[in-house]
Amino acid sequence: MIGYGFMGAAHSQGWRVAPRFFDLPLTPSMDVVVGRDASGVAAAARKWGWRESATDWREIISRDDIDLVDIVTPGDTHAEIAIAALDAGKHVLCEKPLANTVEEAEAMTDAASRAAARGVRSMVGFTYRRVPAATFARDLVAAGRIGDVRQVRAEYLQDWLMDAEAPLTWRMQKDRAGSGALGDIGAHAVDLTEYITGQRVETVSGILETIVTERPLLGEGVGLSGTARQERGAVTVDDLALFTGRLSSGALASFEATRFRTGRKNALRIEIAGSLGAISFDLESLNELGFYDSTLPETEQGFRRILVTEHDHPYLAPWWPTGHMLGYEHGFSHQVADLVTAIASGTQPEPSFDDGLHVQRVLDAVERSSNDGSAWTPTGS
Amino acid sequence: MIGYGFMGAAHSQGWRVAPRFFDLPLTPSMDVVVGRDASGVAAAARKWGWRESATDWREIISRDDIDLVDIVTPGDTHAEIAIAALDAGKHVLCEKPLANTVEEAEAMTDAASRAAARGVRSMVGFTYRRVPAATFARDLVAAGRIGDVRQVRAEYLQDWLMDAEAPLTWRMQKDRAGSGALGDIGAHAVDLTEYITGQRVETVSGILETIVTERPLLGEGVGLSGTARQERGAVTVDDLALFTGRLSSGALASFEATRFRTGRKNALRIEIAGSLGAISFDLESLNELGFYDSTLPETEQGFRRILVTEHDHPYLAPWWPTGHMLGYEHGFSHQVADLVTAIASGTQPEPSFDDGLHVQRVLDAVERSSNDGSAWTPTGS
Amino acid sequence: MIGYGFMGAAHSQGWRVAPRFFDLPLTPSMDVVVGRDASGVAAAARKWGWRESATDWREIISRDDIDLVDIVTPGDTHAEIAIAALDAGKHVLCEKPLANTVEEAEAMTDAASRAAARGVRSMVGFTYRRVPAATFARDLVAAGRIGDVRQVRAEYLQDWLMDAEAPLTWRMQKDRAGSGALGDIGAHAVDLTEYITGQRVETVSGILETIVTERPLLGEGVGLSGTARQERGAVTVDDLALFTGRLSSGALASFEATRFRTGRKNALRIEIAGSLGAISFDLESLNELGFYDSTLPETEQGFRRILVTEHDHPYLAPWWPTGHMLGYEHGFSHQVADLVTAIASGTQPEPSFDDGLHVQRVLDAVERSSNDGSAWTPTGS
Amino acid sequence: MIGYGFMGAAHSQGWRVAPRFFDLPLTPSMDVVVGRDASGVAAAARKWGWRESATDWREIISRDDIDLVDIVTPGDTHAEIAIAALDAGKHVLCEKPLANTVEEAEAMTDAASRAAARGVRSMVGFTYRRVPAATFARDLVAAGRIGDVRQVRAEYLQDWLMDAEAPLTWRMQKDRAGSGALGDIGAHAVDLTEYITGQRVETVSGILETIVTERPLLGEGVGLSGTARQERGAVTVDDLALFTGRLSSGALASFEATRFRTGRKNALRIEIAGSLGAISFDLESLNELGFYDSTLPETEQGFRRILVTEHDHPYLAPWWPTGHMLGYEHGFSHQVADLVTAIASGTQPEPSFDDGLHVQRVLDAVERSSNDGSAWTPTGS
């Protein structure tokens, strides 16, 4: 595993727990975690249970005893590491977003293609597809239970930047983060829409907005007379992204990604209206799916709150009895289970680098539309 | 109409509005409102649109141009008025509880029997039966949609006595109010259970509890030295009633009526678990019904939030389009519509005085059980 | 009252009920209802309790005993009637939308100005402002309880056109209805946003979409061989309107108005995120307001479900005790109470024709933006 | 760890994961899992990551390298194992219920006392205390935020026995399971009530009910003529337990434990009404706590939905960012963290065997009350 931030903790939990609940065809072994700071990464290795730590990812990639590389570093480093790993014949799991630019993402899908020809697999980490309620939503849509998709609403609402005095971190600087709410969380809303509907966003119109344009710099000093004097820097990414996309079938989907929706903490929500029914999901109630069946008698129709904790729901069989809830990190175990199973069976895991590239193109088109007065802009897919 | 308190306002609204929305076979005319205080009742007549006011109910009952008497006075006066009115050949609508004692209620049902033989109708005002969601719940149960009733939970939760310094009114004195939460709101929980299940409560075990046992007397004076001195009096009715009843089918139902459930304002709730499904209702969401259908595939089961605002739902046809909400007082229009229709067609309206008597017997049995260490006590039905 | 459709029933209920609950400085009298069809309007008069019916609105406007004209006809007739009535010195209540075009609306505001100079009042019927929870939301925002508005989400979701075989009525024809979801329900979302925030939408970018482009014509015949043959006609208005607006303060608001949101019946929802808190409202739960207070300790923050049924909540005092729900039509009584009070006190009632004109300009700008590839378009306010 | 059923999987997950997130003063090592079936327990050891497996728990208890024994066997074996382990100087974690009878539980608390004098610790596994929302509820009550407890409602609702043809397993036989819903899930409702209020249930009145009295025996054969003929056996435990308890302060608490509440899967709910506010919790929404603050202005009061996922909420600091949900098994990690910390610091972990004994006495009193016509029965505490 390359990287050891928040995502490192989540991925480690996935590698650790998946084999204890799922019957995997191969047994993963948590060999090496890699980071630039030797003592930091050594501590992470101890804490999370990796056998070794290292500071040079190139060295690790060249080792024969390593079969798979899990990339959880910031987005600007994904392309270099993933391409090198794939070319070295290692399977790759790469955290989203696939890259910070479309060009990098294209180079990565090329490498993934070359690798696939040699039986080497690659996967991008849109973990929320593996929340059982989301997977079950996809199954219902695929089975025709909501009929034709009429319209979609997808939003990812957070509020952690609400405080205008929260400091300026790298996540608010375009050169390092690529974009703000758009790429960080909007990407999930786009991927979930494409996953559940089985369609792609083909053109977009939207606007990116920075609500608080200046924030205190971190670690600033104290003025001459002892008065606190706080320097400020410009926020160069979006706090809020509002956009509309047209799907392959022609249906419209409206999107919102925001870090300023006061009171909403992690509300990735999607509602899909179809000709025969509707699906409604909110990550803040992650064990539930709303389902509306328009084929029932009119007086009996209503949104049904399905607790997605039955043995026959996706991913549920190895876990707990009905009504016992899963949490955020279970998706990472499901991701490991699916990836390992695909590798063992020689099939392409999903979401592929192609899927990741497509999301990148949507994000890029939104940014260009915003710069062009919200003009409709093709995603090139 | 005899009486002009809060219930007088609600009943007046029913008489005023029902003919404007429902096609009634007879046209009610709001003739006389009766009360002891001449100027008070005259003001009520003007405000609510009654043609006349009067102070002597006996005189009104003897008038030939009066066909129906609507009784909205306190419970201790119901028996005398209702019996006189029925014996005088007037149809009677009597607000719940039917009476303050079983004996009075029995005398009233006798009078109702005598009257019925002469084509004179009587009805008791358990209006919540006529909330469309409650009526629809009854219809679903009657149609076998939840199968056999396995167990029932019924509760009526309020919190208006939470403040221990709220003054001692007549509602907290047994000689005037009969009982506290039990008769005031527990009666609704019992009636709704019997109405929706189509069964009767046959034996009960329970406890009545006074949580705040002394309260400030109203209008008390000031001590000699000018210090406010507040006299206190004993609360002689229950603040909280907890009881369990066995229904005709043998299933158990548990009940709670309380004025101390902090944060709950008017939560008359009932949930009925059956062998094929379940029903869930809460008066604080009065346009909604929860319905769980166990005959669906296991992965698709869930409580459905049905908005009971469709044209084909009970009582809905003459009101507004789908999704436009009804409020508390609509039940009083439905009551008028049903009563007038029954009178015109020569049939017995429901709930009858017999139904009201039965509820009275349940309340009485709960009180006796409470006095007898929660021993199981038959309701005599 | 001119007109006697669905809105006629609602307005009649407002005129009938308001004086029974509110202490009005003047007593309205339900004199004449006017419609083109003599027998239809006579039946409406009888049913709803108007003293007379008539077929010529000009004649009614010329009568000395008429002080106020209530216009509930389709939008294309509003301008002519309202201007004539105002010029004749009658107070006017005009149902929304104020008119079908900006030009008509401007002529109406001119007439309203002229009339106001002579003490004659005018008001447009955005009744949802008078749902107590919405009024209370405005009060909280005005009191600074959510701080500066950061962003707004407003949507009005219905699904009554979901069935692709529902027939083509006048509401789906542009020449008669002006627009579809945009003007019918989007207008409410815009007005409620402007009302609660106290700001105006200054520029917009959006798209109008017709999801089902052809529908069966009403009353079509049967083919030669006896086979049903259904002619179809083009739907010329929008089924779905998605747009973003910039408010006076610079904050963005995103809007959705749709007749295709499967399972949503009458969900006028608004959520306003501010620097100190948030407001959340849904008309399908019309007695509730969500309120999030960011000034509380972090561990105790959460959306609060306030039952807006307290005596001290807006409009609540004359109605029922705490926890007893109001319904859809109560807003019409509140409208009557406010209008009559303003007339008696010689003040301008709100929302004014100016407010109605402004909403019309927003709708018009959305339509132009949609025709111009979602380009940002000023509303001219 | 002795035993390897469903609870074995959950406890294993606790031991495995806790050290990866919490900074523990001691590092647990997963040494031996014990079961009667050699191959079954060996498979469990491999699957869950225990170093060894064994079939004789006495042998394990005598080993010097074992410091702690975790008991997850059925209730009838708890006493023997726990007492032996404590007497052998091993710390003990024992799954709830502490025992099947009060006598056994008393012997266990005696052993725990003896052990405590020698610095050996014991703990009973009421894990739901360690759901962060439940712990936070206790903190709020302890801090006086809801004032004096006025009344409590606690219920644990499941529906897995709804199907009358579900087979007769050991859980429905009194000699093996002790009781049905009462001990299995009612015990949690009692413990959570006592934990959050800080009070004990002193007397009870209640009824135990078997709703489906006969069920098909497992593995029964086929009749002579080839027709399936299913033998049936008697269900000897309760399906439903309804009881009322009086707490130390005199307040009443009403309880329900049921396996027949159609549509409710794992709804451990508690609502505590106090003089200054209220607490509401439902395990089916385990990351949320409802809190009502009566000290706020009346128009602003409402149940607040607090997402208990802030860094400063109990147990949350080492997990994920705000808004990322925990699941069922996180409680087992919290249990391990608290137990290990208590052992290292030489303090008594909670809940103690005394706490477990008390719950046992409440269950026993309920059963005696049920057998005695719901007479009020002291719990002896």
B241/B358 same-domain check: yes
Give me the pLDDT at residue D170, please: 84
Percent of chain C's residues with pLDDT above 70: 97
Q: Compute the CA torsion angle D308, D314, D316, D317 (nearest 10 deg).
A: 130
Does D327 sit within 8 Å of A326, measured CB to CB? Answer: yes
Cβ contacts (< 8 Å) between D309 and chain A: which residues?
265-266
Does D1 map to a domain?
no
**Pick from A188, A168, A236: nearest CA to A208:** A236
Does B137 map to a domain?
yes
Does A327 sit within 8 Å of D327, measured CB to CB? Answer: yes
Report residue C229's pLDDT band, with 50, 70 and 90 as the boundaries. Answer: low
Q: What is the mean pLDDT of residues C32-41?
A: 96
Cβ contacts (< 8 Å) between A303 and chain B: which residues?
304-305
Cβ contacts (< 8 Å) between B274 and chain D: which residues?
262
Write out pLDDT tens, residues D154-182: 999 999 999 999 999 888 999 888 899 99
A158/A265 same-domain check: yes
Cβ contacts (< 8 Å) between D146 and chain C: which residues?
none
Does B20 sit within 8 Å of C49, measured CB to CB? Answer: yes
Cβ-based contacts under 8 A for chains A and B: 44
Helix ranges restricted to H, chain B: 6-21, 38-48, 57-61, 78-87, 102-117, 132-142, 174-177, 181, 187-197, 330-345, 353-371
Asked if the C-beta of D312 comes within 8 angstroms of chain C's C-beta atoms, the answer is yes
Amino acid at B108: M
**Pick from B298, B295, B329: nearest CA to B315:** B329
D142/D258 same-domain check: yes
D175/D297 same-domain check: yes
Look-up of token digits 């927003």: C362
Which chain C residue is nearest to residue B7, measuring alpha carbons?
A: C320
- Residue where a domain stops, chosen among C88, C107, C125: C125
Write out pLDDT tens, residues C254-275: 999 999 999 999 999 999 999 9
Give me the pLDDT at residue B221, please: 46
State the residue range of the domain holding C87. Answer: 6-125
Q: Inform me whether the pLDDT recorded for B220 exceeds 80.
A: no
Write out pLDDT tens, residues C98-111: 998 999 999 999 99
Report residue D228's pLDDT band, with 50, 70 and 90 as the boundaries. Answer: low
Long-range (24+ apart) CB contacts under 8 A made by A31-40 are A31/A65, A31/A66, A32/A1, A32/A60, A32/A66, A33/A1, A33/A2, A33/A4, A33/A8, A34/A1, A34/A2, A34/A3, A34/A60, A35/A2, A35/A3, A35/A4, A40/A4
For D197, the 3-state DSSP assignment is helix
Least confidently predicted of B348-357, C219-228, C344-353, C368-377: C219-228
How far apart, in Å, are the Cα atoms of A233 and each of A165, A177, A180, A230, C275? 12, 16, 16, 10, 20
Which chain D residue is nearest to residue B212, measuring alpha carbons?
A: D150
Does D151 sit within 8 Å of B275, measured CB to CB? Answer: no
Does B376 map to a domain?
no
Q: What is the mean pLDDT of residues A143-163?
A: 97
Of C158, C284, C322, the CB nearest to B265: C322
Which residues, including other chains, have CB under 8 Å from residue C177's CB and lie 6 or more apart?
C74, C75, C100, C170, C171, C183, C184, C237
Report residue D218's pLDDT band, with 50, 70 and 90 as the boundaries. Answer: confident
Write out pLDDT tens, residues C141-160: 999 999 999 999 999 999 99
Report residue B219's pLDDT band, with 50, 70 and 90 as the boundaries. Answer: low
Residues A353 and A115: beta-carbon distance below 8 Å? no
Cβ contacts (< 8 Å) between B373 and chain D: which residues?
205, 375-376
Write out pLDDT tens, residues B317-341: 999 999 999 999 999 999 999 999 9
- Residue where a domain stops, chosen among A94, A125, A156: A125
Report residue C289's pLDDT band, with 50, 70 and 90 as the boundaries. Answer: very high
Cβ contacts (< 8 Å) between D286 and chain A: which residues?
325
Asked if the C-beta of D185 comes within 8 angstroms of chain A's C-beta atoms, the answer is no
Strand-by-strand arrangement of the C122-125 sheet = C68-71, C91-95, C122-125
Does B332 map to a domain?
no
What b/e string do you get for C168-193 counting C-beta neighbours within 10 Å, with b at 16 or more? beebbbeeebbbbbbbbbbbbbbbbb
Asked if the C-beta of B295 comes within 8 angstroms of chain A's C-beta atoms, the answer is no
Asked if the C-beta of A156 comes within 8 angstroms of chain B's C-beta atoms, the answer is no
D16/D156 same-domain check: no
Report residue C225's pLDDT band, with 50, 70 and 90 as the boundaries. Answer: low
CATH number for position B170: 3.30.360.10
Give me the pLDDT at residue A223, please: 44
Of the CA atoms within 13 Å of residue D262, those in its CB half-sphere come to 31
Chain B: give the shortest CA distance to residue A302, in Å: 4
Chains in contact with C, where contact means 3 or more Cβ–Cβ distances below 8 Å, are A, B, D
Of C20, C266, C322, the CB nearest to B49: C20
Write out pLDDT tens, residues B41-89: 999 999 999 999 999 999 999 999 999 999 999 888 999 999 999 999 9
- Burial class of residue A298 (count of CB atoms within 10 Å of its CB; 0-12, 13-18, 19+): exposed
DSSP per-residue letters across C107-145: HHHHHHHHHHHTT--EEEE-GGGGSHHHHHHHHHHHTTT
Does B261 sit within 8 Å of D271, measured CB to CB? Answer: yes
Chain A: give the shortest CA distance to residue D325, in Å: 5
For C209, the 3-state DSSP assignment is strand
Does B139 map to a domain?
yes
Does A254 sit within 8 Å of C254, measured CB to CB? Answer: yes
Does C186 map to a domain?
yes
Of D6, D47, D265, the CB nearest to A309: D265
What b/e string do you get for B124-135 counting C-beta neighbours within 10 Å, with b at 16 or more? bbbbbbbbbbbb
Computed over every residue of chain A, the mean pLDDT equals 95
A199/A213 same-domain check: yes
Of D301, D305, D310, the CB nearest to C303: D305
D48/D141 same-domain check: no
Cβ contacts (< 8 Å) between B242 and chain D: which residues?
244, 252, 254
Chain D: give the shortest CA distance to residue C96, in Å: 30
Does A304 map to a domain?
yes
Does B146 map to a domain?
yes
Give me the pLDDT at residue A222, please: 44
Look-up of token digits 């036989």: D173
Q: Inform me whether the pLDDT recorded for C228 exceeds 80.
A: no
Of A151, A164, A256, the CB nearest to C258: A151
Can you give the three-state secondary structure of D218-248, one letter per residue? CCCCECCCCCECCCEEECCCCCEEEEEEEEC
Amino acid at A46: R
**Pick from B248, B247, B236, B246: nearest CA to B208:** B236
Q: Output the six-digit token pair for B156.
A: 């009526």
Asked if the C-beta of A227 comes within 8 angstroms of chain B's C-beta atoms, the answer is no
Q: Inform me whether the pLDDT recorded for D303 exceeds 80.
A: yes
**Pick from A61, A74, A72: nearest CA to A176:** A74
Q: Note the ipTM here.
A: 0.94
Report residue B225's pLDDT band, with 50, 70 and 90 as the boundaries. Answer: low
Which chain C residue is nearest to residue B326, measuring alpha carbons?
A: C327
**Pick from C273, C213, C214, C209: nearest CA to C243:** C209
B33/B109 same-domain check: yes
Q: Inform me whether the pLDDT recorded for C221 exceeds 70.
A: no
Give me the pLDDT at residue B171, please: 87
Cβ contacts (< 8 Å) between D320 and chain A: which residues?
6, 10, 328-329
Total number of domains in chain D:
2
Question: Could you give the CA distance from residue B185 to residue B240 in angstroms, rounded to a whole number?
Answer: 10
Q: Inform me whether the pLDDT recorded for A127 exceeds 90.
A: yes
- Residue where a domain stops, chosen among C82, C101, C125: C125
Chain D: give the shortest CA distance to residue C95, in Å: 31
Q: Inform me whether the pLDDT recorded for D210 exceeds 50.
A: yes
Does C265 sit within 8 Å of B309, measured CB to CB? Answer: yes
Residues A304 and B304: beta-carbon distance below 8 Å? yes
C186/C327 same-domain check: yes
Does D244 sit within 8 Å of B211, measured CB to CB? Answer: no
Mutate to test the interface with C, among A141, A148, A149, A150 (most CBs of C within 10 A): A150
Cβ contacts (< 8 Å) between C281 and chain A: which residues?
none
C105/C178 same-domain check: no
Least confidently predicted of B188-202, B214-228, C294-308, D267-281: B214-228
Chain C: give the shortest CA distance to residue D240, in Å: 32
CATH number for position B47: 3.40.50.720
Which chain B residue is nearest to residue D278, measuring alpha carbons?
A: B262
Q: How many residues does chain C have?
A: 381
**Pick from B72, B175, B193: nearest CA to B128:** B193
Give Dmax over CA atoms of chain C in angstroms. 76
Q: Inform me whether the pLDDT recorded for D254 exceeds 80.
A: yes
D144/D94 same-domain check: no
Asked if the C-beta of B302 comes within 8 angstroms of chain A's C-beta atoms, the answer is yes
Of C240, C263, C375, the CB nearest to A373: C375
C233 phi/psi in degrees, rounded to 5: -130, 160
A257/A206 same-domain check: yes
